[in-house]
Amino acid sequence: MNTRIDQCFTRLRQQKRKGFIAYITAGDPTLEQTLENVLLLEKAGVDIVELGIPFSDPLADGRVNQESAMRALESGTTIKGIFEMVGELRQRSQIPIMCYCYMNLLYAPGFERTIKRAARVGIDGMLILDLPSEERGNYATLLNTHDLNYITLITPTTPKERIADIVKHGSGFVYAVSRTGVTGVQSKLANDAGQLLKRAAAVTDLPLALGFGISTPEQAAAAARQADAVVVGSALVQRLHEAGRSRNARKQVADWLTSMVNAIH
């Protein structure tokens, strides 16, 4: 497999740089604006975009991302519309794109049918929040068959033996959650994040990305010293929401993003 995500991490490794993965909710406030937001992220130096597919029961998300998902759903966002938007985006950008989603959204329309369409429009990987390792079975195989990275998730409470089982079927990179709990801005990087990364590095050669709660250049730089990539979500989602369509406010978001990218790189 050689997705845009795989190519990105190969390039980062060759350049001896760390990666910046930016999370935004697809459809907040509209899919048209989401496309423009992705282009803004790319221009600011983001390496990979993580598109959240809005869901009515987002168990892993904190208040900011929950509210963002609700705004997207209220605007009429569907998985079909998201895929169409990515297809349009691919005419203007080849930035690596992964989806952050819940199993029901992929399963209800038919899992393989949905995955095939995701691959066809130019999506590179899937992080399925509520697919336990014990149930991955044919789902992980289908993702691999259709050249989509199966991005796995580990947390500070995941035992080393279970980490080994989780990551052996994954590809692209491993998403390491920096702390227990849901998404959301934190005042400092959790102390146990480093230990989690060490446990993961002992059992996989996949790149390790650290996320959940990172919101300042200082936190980003601290995370980048330990991980291969840093994921920033809630802080960005909130800034984009507050900026709306204001050109000046969106420039401020871009400037903040650039400061985060510089801290990580």
Helix pair angle (160-167, 193-201), 10° resolution? 60
Q: Is 61 a catalytic residue?
A: yes
Considering the candidates 28, 50, 124, 228, report the single residue annotated as catalytic: 50
Looking at residue 237, its amino acid is V
Residue ranges of E strands in the chain: 19-25, 48-52, 97-101, 125-128, 149-150, 152-154, 174-177, 208-211, 229-232
Distance, in Å, from the CA atom of 58 to the CA atom of 70, rounded to the nearest integer, reads: 10
Name the 3-class secondary structure at 119: helix
User: Distance of CA 250 to CAs 37, 172, 253, 257, Å?
Assistant: 9, 30, 5, 10
CA nearest 223: which of 173, 254, 188, 258? Answer: 188
Q: Is 165 a catalytic residue?
A: no
Distance, in Å, from the CA atom of 126 to the CA atom of 124, rounded to the nearest integer, reads: 7
Considering the candidates 47, 61, 124, 228, report the single residue annotated as catalytic: 61
Evaluate whether 179 touches 213 at the Cβ level (below 8 Å): yes
Q: Catalytic amino acids?
A: 50, 61
